[in-house]
Amino acid sequence: MRLIFLLLTVSLLCIALQSPNLTALAEWRADYIEQGQWMRILSGNFAHTNFAHLTMNLAALWIIAFIFRPSARSYATLLLLISIGVGIGILYTPIQHYVGLSGTLHGLFAYYALREALQGRLSSWVLVVGVIVKVACELTVGSPISTAEMINARVAVEAHLFGVVNGILFALVSYPLYKSAR
């Protein structure tokens, strides 16, 4: 029930940020971050270019939650930490403007897939390898043009990379803690 409440809250926040005025306040912008608007490192992940972009990302947020069945606390913590990691990572790229949750979603997926794999679920290694190969292909070949057209923006594959790296690192760091608690 708490997970559903979290998902609804995040969904409503993202929907509210579709208002052009709120998007302008939330979007990740390098120039504003350099001027001290640090909250944009986090908030830019929750704004989206359009409703197609929003719908795709919210669907993925819910699907990841239903596939891996995390606790609400775990999901909320990782959602925030990975979003911050993605937002900081983008600072080291030429990107000047960014909105969207996809980098964080890649990180959540990588985290939960790797955690399951480390716990002995062999089939989850396929998921881990799959998300790594997907991002490697995006970085080398590029993302589908149809996706960029649908979201009316360039797909920030760098965000996907930072999300996966953060998710994998958090899984590796937290696994010994999780294992000793069991």
pLDDT at residue 12 tops 70: yes
53 and 153 in contact (C-beta within 8 Å)? yes
pLDDT confidence tier of residue 86, bands split at 50, 70 and 90: very high
Domain ranges of the chain: 2-181
Question: 110-145: per-residue pLDDT in tens?
Answer: 999 999 999 999 999 999 999 999 999 999 998 888
Cα gap 74→104, rounded to integer Å = 14
Task: Report the C-alpha gap between 115 and 126 in whole angstroms.
Answer: 13
Other C-beta atoms within 10 Å of 75: how many?
Answer: 23
Annotation: CATH topology of 2-181 = Rhomboid-like fold (1.20.1540)
Q: What pTM did the predictor assign?
A: 0.94
pLDDT at 180: 63
* Three-state SS sequence of 122-174: CCHHHHHHHHHHHHHHHHHCCCCHHHHHHHCCCCCHHHHHHHHHHHHHHHHHH
Greatest extent of the chain over all pairs of C-alpha atoms, in Å: 47
H helices present in 17-99, as ranges: 20-26, 30-34, 40-43, 51-68, 72-90
Say how far apart CA 157 and CA 137 lie, in whole Å: 10
Q: Categorize the per-residue pLDDT at 182 as very low, low, confident or very high, splitting at 50, 70 and 90.
A: low
29 bridge partner residues: 97
**Proportion of the chain above pLDDT 90, given as a percent:** 87
pLDDT value for 5: 98
